[in-house]
Chains A and B, each alone.
Chain A
Amino acid sequence: MSSEGADVRSIDAIDRFRVSVVEFIDAGRVSISEADSDLDRNIIWLEREQAPHWIRQIRKRQELVTRAKSDLYRKQTQSSANDGRASVVDEKVALQRALRRLEEAQSKLKATRKWMRRLDQQRITFKAAMSGFSVAVDHDLPHAVGLLKKITENLESYLNLSPPDLHRLIAPNEPTDEHPSMRRTGETTPTDIVENELPTEEPT
């Protein structure tokens, strides 16, 4: 029990704050779930869309390289038959371009496989990094909501047990404090009852 009394001027204010904590818990849970879902969506995108996409692209671009090589070979053969006068520059450029595009697709597939492994690992790292906040929204804050509820219930019971206001009976016309405090120094106070129930922060 504390030597200092409870000093609460509005039970409604504590109740409103409790509602804010409940709203924060909901928003926090949604945030964690959204972040997890985004990570999962990206892993699925890599596994089910990008990896098969780049495999198809490699096959397609290999065919284009083969075709470009055939075109060049055919042109070189025709050129030899025509005293080497026909230009093969366009075919060489087309082959270079086809080879470059094949390399790009191969490199994309390699990157996709690398990121699939990396994001899978990231899922574990991210969960660990978010564990403190998860504990807060799943355990600490719901417990805090319970305490706030108990505080307001105790204060309400305490007010119901209060003796008649002697001052008001003796001098009814004197102005009184518009927001009287429930402070009762030196007595056991309604909030003291729950003070010792506030646990210390759990290690994360």
Chain B
Amino acid sequence: MSVTSARMRMQSEFKDLAVAWRRVSESWHDPVSRAFHERRIQPLERRIRSAASAMEQLEGELAQARRDCGDD
């Protein structure tokens, strides 16, 4: 498995989690659910973005390394 598939899996699973959150929000909306969203879901979104960006950069580096060092 590659960094690309790892990134795609992470992003796709987060989309599923966001859908699951929207679904639970329909039947749970009180101060605790809002706190949960602010303190757990929103920070996670930022961390996913940052991880995806690091993974994309690594994908580029690995592709370049394979081109530079592979058979001519």
Contacts and interface: CB of A to CB of B under 8 A. Distances in A.
Contacts of A114: 68
Nearest to B52: A133
Interface residues of B, number: 48
Contacts of A122: 58, 61
Contact of B54 (A130, A136, A144): A130
A111 interface: yes
A38 B1 contact: yes
Contact of B16 (A9, A20, A191, A201): A20
Interface in B8-47: 9-10, 13-14, 16-17, 20-21, 23-24, 26-33, 35-36, 39-40, 43-44, 46-47
A136 B66 contact: no
Contacts, number: 161
B26 to A, nearest CB: 8
A31 B58 contact: no
Contacts of A37: 1
A141 B21 CA distance: 14
Chain A interface helix/strand/loop/mixed: helix
Contact of B30 (A8, A54, A136): A8
A54 B72 CA distance: 11
Interface string A98-137: 0000001000100110110011001000100110110110
A24 B16 contact: yes
User: Which of B1, B44, B46, B70 counts the most A-chain CB atoms under 10 A from its CB?
Assistant: B44
Given A20-B17, A133-B51, A35 B7 contact: yes
B1 A179 contact: no
Nearest to B21: A17
A144 B30 contact: no
A130 to B, nearest CB: 5
A23 interface: yes
A111 B69 contact: yes
Interface string A161-204: 00000000000000000010001000001011011001111001
A4 B26 CA distance: 17
Given A13-B24, A119-B65, A136 B47 contact: yes
21 contacts: A4-B31, A6-B32, A10-B27, A13-B27, A17-B24, A27-B10, A30-B6, A35-B3, A35-B58, A38-B6, A42-B66, A118-B65, A122-B58, A122-B61, A129-B54, A130-B55, A133-B10, A133-B50, A136-B43, A191-B31, A199-B39
Query: Which 9 A-B pairs rank lowest in CB-CB distance, beginning with the nearest?
Result: A129-B54, A20-B20, A34-B6, A133-B51, A9-B27, A191-B32, A27-B13, A17-B24, A31-B10
